[in-house]
Amino acid sequence: MRSMRDMTATDTDQWIVGRRGPKNRVDPSRPYAYLMEPECTVGGRVEDTVTVFLTNSECPFRCLMCDLWKNTTDESVVSGQIAGQIRWALDRLPPARHVKLYNSGNFFDPRAIPEEDYAEIAESVSQFDTIIVESHPRLIGRRCLAFNDMVSGDVHVAMGLETVHPEVMEKLNKRMTLDDFARATDLLTTNGMHVRAFILLRPPYLSEAEGVAWAQRSIDFAFDVGVECCAIIPTRGGNGAMEDLAAHGEFEPPSLDAMEDVFDYALGERRGRVFLDLWDIEKVAGGVPDAKARVQRLARINLSQRVEPRVSPLR
């Protein structure tokens, strides 16, 4: 079987898509999920944040590690549906001061969210102090500035930096450069917005030690160019392509040790907020003798933003 390592950029999309399973059935009039959870804010307070996972069309970028396509539509949503999804979810959630509008791709892709809907969306989230959206760096531009002008709260844009490893970045099929990320960050911060960077911990083609080192370098780069918050994402399988790479010995998820090393390093630098994504962490922590206590430590640090002593090994 041909490994992705041998492929050119021209056939990478087809290789990735060809290893997918079926999409989940979604309703374009409803978000596919919504929740509320505490998060440490820019001001250092722990406050409730609601997240609405919007249903819309698939991201045009076929990133190697992505599984967000599973909850997307094949066609663009009808004008008005995104604002309707937001209102529907907020009617069912307790009040909060911060909202994440995550849409499995790019908020500023007009094929996903029609630009003519920005004003209605802005009105739907007018009660929030902070509005967090996500986008590919190459889609940061005029539409982002227009949306920022419409909302009453502070706009935070989450962007996938993933890794600063040059060869791995290319293999991820991200279709961007570090200059693209830096340019987008500069445009956002110059116009009064905050930037949150997604950092992959141990993407494909890296050993455990390399994964830790390059995640640390990636975090340093993000803060150097003006990012306010870094979210560390342990790289996972589940989209078909990653399983293929694992079968070739080219991917293995990071260990709990690696997560602790990178998280402690990033917070120790004291350059901004840092979160460690604990979703599905049981797949990595399963079988580790002291896993429960170690995961609880990581969850506390996510809220406190202060490094705690490591959990003593069980004897």
Contact between 281 and 229 under an 8 Å Cβ cutoff? The reply is: no
Q: Which of 68, 34, 39, 76 is nearest to 52 (CA)?
A: 34
> What's the pLDDT score for residue 287?
80
**264: helix, strand or coil:** helix
- Cα–Cα distances in Å, from 135 out to 78, 104, 110, 141, 264? 20, 9, 12, 11, 27
How far is residue 120's CA from residue 117's CA, in Å, rounded to a whole number? 5
Residue found under tokens 């997240």:
51
The continuous run of DSSP H or E covering 256 comes out as: helix 256-269
- List, for residues 64-111, the tens digit of each pLDDT value: 999 999 999 999 999 999 999 999 999 999 999 999 999 999 999 999
Task: State how far the alpha carbon of 223 is from the alpha carbons of 50, 63, 64, 176, 193, in Å.
Answer: 26, 23, 25, 18, 15
Record the pTM: 0.95
Q: Residue 88 has what DSSP assignment?
A: H
Task: Determine the topology of domain 4-304 in CATH.
Answer: TIM Barrel (3.20.20)
152-204 pLDDT, tens digit per residue, is 999 999 999 999 999 999 999 999 999 999 999 999 999 999 999 999 999 99
CA distance 192 to 155: 8
What confidence category does residue 286 fall into, taking pLDDT thresholds of 50, 70 and 90? confident
- How far apart (Å, rounded) are the C-alpha atoms in residues 194 and 273? 12
Computed over every residue of the chain, the mean pLDDT equals 95
> 160 has which bridge partners?
198
Distance CA 273, CA 260 (A): 16
Place of tokens 């918050």: 229
List the chain domain ranges: 4-304
